[in-house]
Structure formats: structure tokens, C-alpha cells
A and B are shown apart, each in its own frame.
Chain A
Amino acid sequence: DTAVSQTPKYLVTQMGNDKSIKCEQNLGHDTMYWYKQDSKKFLKIMFSYNNKELIINETVPNRFSPKSPDKAHLNLHINSLELGDSAVYFCASSRTGETQYFGPGTRLTVL
């Protein structure tokens, strides 16, 4: 009965590859998010999405794209992976304007 889940937990891949990270929430929330945590543990918002709009942090490269097949899922697709993409990626969800709940994170390592 995990509230916000992510798969995979670990992802190791080569530079130039395309990969996806899946996120699912069973809380009935209407807004989902992706955050990136760098090697210094700094957390930064990448995207937020509800059924009305996608808000993109302007610093996020367009190689990153969120895809939402339904309200319970927001997957993160990354094209042409680069070394600097290595990080921990967290998915979160909330009702709009309320507390965000985070998934366990996906550690991405690009070799």
C-alpha cells in the first residue's frame, strides 16, 4: 500500500542512451512532480503536472520529458543521457495547494 512508488530504484546506463523512470501514486492526488537531487543533495523541482497544465522549470534540458498516461502516473523520459544527468530523481504528488508526498527515489548513474 505504498503511497508514491517509483521504478526502478537503481538505473545504470551508458551515455547517449534513452531511459524512463516510472512513478505511480495511489493517493488520489491531482498534481504530480519530478525533482532532481544532485550529488550535494540539493533538491530542485523539474516539472509539475496536473490534468490542466505542465509547468517546466526553465533550467531543465528538453531531453527530459514527463509523460502522464493517467492521473495516477507521471513517468520521466530522458533522451541522450549525459554524465551530468547522474543524480537521484524523486517523484512526488499532492492535491493542488497541499502537502507533497515523495517517492523513494531512483538513483540514476550514467557511465
Chain B
Amino acid sequence: AQSVTQPDIHITVSEGASLELRCNYSYGATPYLFWYVQSPGQGLQLLLKYFSGDTLVQGIKGFEAEFKRSQSSFNLRKPSVHWSDAAEYFCAGGGETSGGGADGLTFGKGTHLIIQP
């Protein structure tokens, strides 16, 4: 069965430090992959997505992610975090028909990012 795993439940980073959030997937074929961010009490905002092509994708708010087929990973990175980046981050995957398609996205359990002053 397809799955998305975020191994880190909580991550604490100092403001200005670099960030990497881990995501691993298990799919029969290369999935469509996404990172969403959820601020407290808010909905889900798309940060970036990977469908095919260049394995390093750029997103909003200075985030990027790299698709590594050999490691079944799609880790999210940011070179310098800001206090406003504190939020819940979700990695999600979908099959060819569910990049936004019929059977919906499979989400990881989320990583809670805490920013220390």
C-alpha cells in the first residue's frame, strides 16, 4: 500500500539556522509529491510540488525540496528560518491519477516546527 512517512514529529531550530524536514514515500511507481504547511488554526497552504523533471523544486517562502528516487525521499529545506515559519508541515503523495486525482492524497503525520529565538 502507498504510504508517506515523516519520521520527525517535532523539530526545533534556532531562528536564522538552516532547516531540513524529512519525508519518505513508498509507492509502486514514482508518485506526485507535495509539501503543505499549516499554521495554527489555519488551512493547508501548498509550499511546493514534484510531478516530474528537475528533481530540485523551488517553492514559496524560500523553501525547496529534492526528490531522490534512490532514497525514496522528498526532503524539505530552507537555508535560514524565520520565526514565522513555525507551523506544522505535511508531506503528501499521490499516484498518477491522484496527484490531485480521484483517490486523494496520502499524508504523512506531520512535523511540528518550533523556532527558537
Give complex CA distance A73, B107 in Å: 24
The bracket for how many chain A residues form the interface is: 20 to 34
The reply to whether A100 and B105 contact each other, CB–CB distance below 8 Å, is yes
Q: Does A11 contact B (CB under 8 A)?
A: no
Q: Does B25 contact A (CB under 8 A)?
A: no
The reply to whether B103 and A103 contact each other, CB–CB distance below 8 Å, is no
Count of chain B residues with a beta carbon within 8 Å of a chain A beta carbon = 26
State whether A99 and B104 are in contact (beta carbons under 8 Å apart), knowing that A41-B109, A104-B43 are contacts in the complex. Answer: no
The reply to whether A99 and B43 contact each other, CB–CB distance below 8 Å, is no
The reply to whether A31 and B101 contact each other, CB–CB distance below 8 Å, is yes
Q: Does A25 contact B (CB under 8 A)?
A: no
State whether A45 and B43 are in contact (beta carbons under 8 Å apart), knowing that A97-B97, A99-B34, A99-B49 are contacts in the complex. Answer: no
State whether A42 and B110 are in contact (beta carbons under 8 Å apart), knowing that A48-B103, A103-B43 are contacts in the complex. Answer: yes
Q: How far is the CB of B7 from chain A (nearest CB, A)?
A: 15
List which A5-56 residues lie within 8 A (CB) of chain B: 31, 33, 35, 40-45, 48, 50, 53, 55
The reply to whether A99 and B46 contact each other, CB–CB distance below 8 Å, is yes
A68-108 contact mask (Cβ, 8 Å, vs B): 1 or 0? 00000000000000000000001010111111111111000
The reply to whether A102 and B43 contact each other, CB–CB distance below 8 Å, is yes
For A95, the chain B residues whose CB sits under 8 A away are 100
Report the number of A-B residue pairs with Cβ-Cβ less than 8 Å.
Answer: 71
State whether A104 and B42 are in contact (beta carbons under 8 Å apart), knowing that A41-B109, A43-B90, A97-B97 are contacts in the complex. Answer: yes
Q: Which residue of A lies closest to B34 (CB)?
A: A99
The reply to whether A40 and B101 contact each other, CB–CB distance below 8 Å, is no
For B38, the chain A residues whose CB sits under 8 A away are 41
Q: How far is the CB of B62 from chain A (nearest CB, A)?
A: 19
Give complex CA distance A29, B104 in Å: 14
For A53, the chain B residues whose CB sits under 8 A away are 102
Q: Does B96 contact A (CB under 8 A)?
A: yes
For A33, the chain B residues whose CB sits under 8 A away are 104
